[in-house]
Amino acid sequence: MNPARELRRLYALAFGATALLSVGLGLVANHLIVNCTRSLPLGLYWISRGTGPGRGDLVAVPVPASVRTLVRERRYLPEGALLLKRVVAWPGDRVCTEGGVFSINDAPFGALESHDSAGRSLPQLTFCGMVADGELYLASRAPHSFDSRVFGPVFATDVRGTVTPVCTF
């Protein structure tokens, strides 16, 4: 038995195992999202990339550019965090904000909040019409949810993937 040869073999095995573990953890970490907002249950969510979203799907999207500064200044989310929201309106659906209510296909979905949970004013969008091709409306039934009622539609191409809960609290 050659001790130098055995030591090299041990080092090679340790290096290989470390490399495989690092790659595996990187792949898993690339698919896990931590939700720390009250729009959905707190916890870990798994993002599946490459599948197009459908009506009712939970999706992950970057914060829309139109409200990115607001989100950063008010510290709603950490920089670069993704929003996790449900697809509530699809191309061809009719969405409307009238009388303080967000409605989809003439059915009330929820109230339009004028202020966030800290009492700060929110942008007020006024719209009524059909969802355009390539656009989606995202929302949550949770009170004070920061969603399409505040920032309007998102582009379907901005969706990073569909999301499923892994462990929620």
How far apart, in whole angstroms, are the C-alpha atoms of residue 169 and residue 72? 25
How far apart, in whole angstroms, are the C-alpha atoms of residue 78 and residue 87? 22
Q: Which fold has domain 32-168?
A: Umud Fragment, subunit A (2.10.109)
Q: Mean pLDDT throughout 32-58?
A: 91
Does the pLDDT value for residue 117 go beyond 90? no
- The answer for residues whose C-beta is within 8 angstroms of residue 48's C-beta and 6 or more apart is 31, 161, 162, 163, 164
User: How many alpha carbons lie under 13 Å from residue 120 in its C-beta half-sphere?
Assistant: 10
The reported pTM is: 0.83
Domain ranges in the chain are 1-30, 32-168
Does the pLDDT value for residue 24 go beyond 50? no
pLDDT of residue 25: 45
Give the pLDDT confidence of 137-161 residue by residue, as tens digits. Answer: 999 999 889 999 999 999 999 999 9
How far apart, in whole angstroms, are the C-alpha atoms of residue 53 and residue 49? 10
Give the pLDDT confidence of 79-104 residue by residue, as tens digits. Answer: 999 999 999 999 999 999 988 999 99
Give the pLDDT confidence of 10-20 residue by residue, as tens digits. Answer: 566 565 555 44
Q: What type of residue is 108?
A: P
